[in-house]
Amino acid sequence: MTLARRAFLRTAGGAFLAAGALKASPAFCAPAARHLKFENLHTGESLALDYWSDGAYHPQALAEINKVLRDYRTGEVHAIEPGLLDLLHDMNARLETVAPYQVISGYRSPRTNAALHEHSNGVASKSLHMQGMAIDIRVPGRQLAAVHDTALSLGRGGVGFYPSSDFVHVDVGRVRKWNGV
């Protein structure tokens, strides 16, 4: 065997090994599961679960999330838009945190929303909270401004900044932004 031939074999073998290593490395695979954690500040309930894996949302996990994000004033449960969960999942990744989302407001029934709207200019009468498409959150260990910037950077819906109330509103409606109090 010539030297050149040996060099070729070595290279080919090396390339083969590299390809094998690439395939096995989790860094090069799409995440197999999507995980979320919530802590509802009104009810004290918390939840940590995989809500998606292998290309499908888990109905049981979605049902548990819907319950924790229910209208705590009336007890009404409404489906939360899975796209909102994906938005939260992607925010976690960008914020490089696994801390639970602290939830100030998830689903709001029309009755609750109307009552809040009456007492606050900051509550829209046609709020996306009533469709399970919006959530008000803060993230322990991360500055509110960082959470705000991250939500804006994803550009996937509405983002409201409420520094005095210490939360960020995110939704999966039209892309827009505003400042509250």
Given the rule CB under 5 A, which residues bind Zn ion?
Answer: 134, 136, 169
Q: Which helix (H) or strand (E) holds 64?
A: helix 59-68
Minimum CB separation of residue 33 from Zn ion in Å reads: 28
Nearest residue (beta carbon) to Zn ion: 169
Minimum CB separation of residue 112 from Zn ion in Å reads: 12
Considering the complex, state which of residue 51 and residue 167 has its C-beta at the smaller distance from Zn ion: 167
Structure tokens at 14: 């090396």
CB atoms near residue 88 (< 10 Å): 22
Minimum CB separation of residue 67 from Zn ion in Å reads: 19
Minimum CB separation of residue 123 from Zn ion in Å reads: 8
Considering the complex, state which of residue 71 and residue 136 has its C-beta at the smaller distance from Zn ion: 136
How far is the C-alpha of 103 from the C-alpha of 44, rounded, in Å? 10
Distance set, CA 108 to CA 67, 69, 92, 125, 167 (Å): 12, 9, 24, 11, 16
Considering the complex, state which of residue 36 and residue 170 has its C-beta at the smaller distance from Zn ion: 170
Number of H helices, E strands in the chain: 5, 8
Considering the complex, state which of residue 86 and residue 136 has its C-beta at the smaller distance from Zn ion: 136
